[in-house]
Amino acid sequence: MNTSGRSLLLSASIALVSACVTSTVDEMIYNEPIEGIGDSSVVILGRRHGSDYETEPDFVLCVGEYIASYDHSITVIGELEFINALYPWFEPRTAPLHPEDIDRLLAQKPVAEKLAALKVEYMIWLDGSTVRTGGSGSMACSLVGCFGFGTWAHDANYEATIWDFTDQAAVGHINTHASGQSYMPAVIIPIPIIAPVKGAACDGIGHQLLEFLSSEY
């Protein structure tokens, strides 16, 4: 089989084992940088002060990687690196909830110096989570294999709030909602057909943020 034939087979296999995802993105941007963010950097942080959920670190990482992979000129500071460098000011208890709180942070001389050294121009807060919303079916496994059928759904809801560090103001909100149904039929071997719900939400929000931050998109 030639290379294009293999690629076609691989694409068809991926399409077959991926379930469908419905995704919507809403954005409200007030003050987009026309020339991109230049040599400044951006930090993407997850909100963690909710009592029954927290924004997954892997989602925050996914959005950062999406932006950095499409525009190599944008420096995205890692979440853990940032909150460790600025400990204790970005812990769930102490993290600023409103752009006006930036003043309170900058009043701390070591914090102001660290933020200046990191060249943070934009701070993006991601708030939300992906949850499993239901499931049905049954499967029985024995020595000869598994038989049955299972299905489950996931819902992803995230909001990105963009803070301009220089102007100390919120300059944009992006909401994304994605949902999808995953399946797992089993005739001897279980074949998971996974709906990449979180991935779709990451791509949706990542693309809008890329358009905001990059001069090339």
Partner 1 sequence: MGVPLSRSMISADLPHRPQLLAAVVFTCLLAGCGPTTVVVQGNFPPPLIEPLPLTLGVWYGDDFARHEFFDEAKGRGESSWVVNTGEAQVQMWDTLLAGMFEKIIHLNNKPGPGQSNASIDGVLIPHVEELQYTIPIHTHVKVYEIWMRYRFELVTTGGEPIAEWSMASYGKTPTAFLQSNQAAVNLAAVMALRDAGANFATHFTQVPAVQAWLQEKGVLANASTP
Site residues for partner 1, 140-199, by CB under 8 A, read none
Site for partner 1 (CB under 8 A): which residue of 34, 52, 72, 136? 52
- Measured in whole angstroms, the distance separating CA 1 from the mean position of its chain's CA atoms is 38
Of residues 5 and 88, the one with the C-beta less far from partner 1: 88
| End-to-end Cα, the chain, rounded Å | 38
Task: Determine, following the binding rule CB under 8 A, whether residue 54 of this chain makes contact with partner 1.
Answer: yes
Give the nearest distance from C-beta 194 to partner 1 in angstroms. 12
Of residues 24 and 94, the one with the C-beta less far from partner 1: 94
Query: Could you write out the DSSP letters of every residue in 110-166?
Result: HHHHHHHHHTEEEEEEEEEEEEEEEEEEEEEEETTEEEEEEEEEEEEEEEEEEEETT
- Surface-to-core class of residue 97, CB atoms within 10 Å of its CB (0-12 exposed, 13-18 middle, 19+ buried): exposed
> What is the β-pairing status of strands 41-46 and 75-77?
parallel
Task: Determine, following the binding rule CB under 8 A, whether residue 7 of this chain makes contact with partner 1.
Answer: no
Give the nearest distance from C-beta 59 to partner 1 in angstroms. 11
Of residues 168 and 214, the one with the C-beta less far from partner 1: 168
Spatial contact of 126 and 76, defined as CB atoms under 8 Å apart: no
Spatial contact of 157 and 77, defined as CB atoms under 8 Å apart: no
- Surface-to-core class of residue 76, CB atoms within 10 Å of its CB (0-12 exposed, 13-18 middle, 19+ buried): buried
Task: Determine, following the binding rule CB under 8 A, whether residue 135 of this chain makes contact with partner 1.
Answer: no
Task: Determine, following the binding rule CB under 8 A, whether residue 104 of this chain makes contact with partner 1.
Answer: yes
Site for partner 1 (CB under 8 A): which residue of 43, 60, 63, 86? 86
Interface region with partner 1, contact rule CB under 8 A, candidates 14-22, 87-95, 134-142, 189-197: 87-95
Task: Determine, following the binding rule CB under 8 A, whether residue 56 of this chain makes contact with partner 1.
Answer: yes
Task: Determine, following the binding rule CB under 8 A, whether residue 13 of this chain makes contact with partner 1.
Answer: no
Task: Determine, following the binding rule CB under 8 A, whether residue 85 of this chain makes contact with partner 1.
Answer: yes
Could you tell me which of 82, 95, 83 has the C-alpha nearest to residue 127? 95
CA pair distance 42, 210, nearest whole angstrom: 11
Of residues 37 and 115, the one with the C-beta less far from partner 1: 115
Contacts with partner 1, residue ranges (CB under 8 A):
52-54, 56, 80, 84-89, 91-94, 104, 108-111, 114, 129
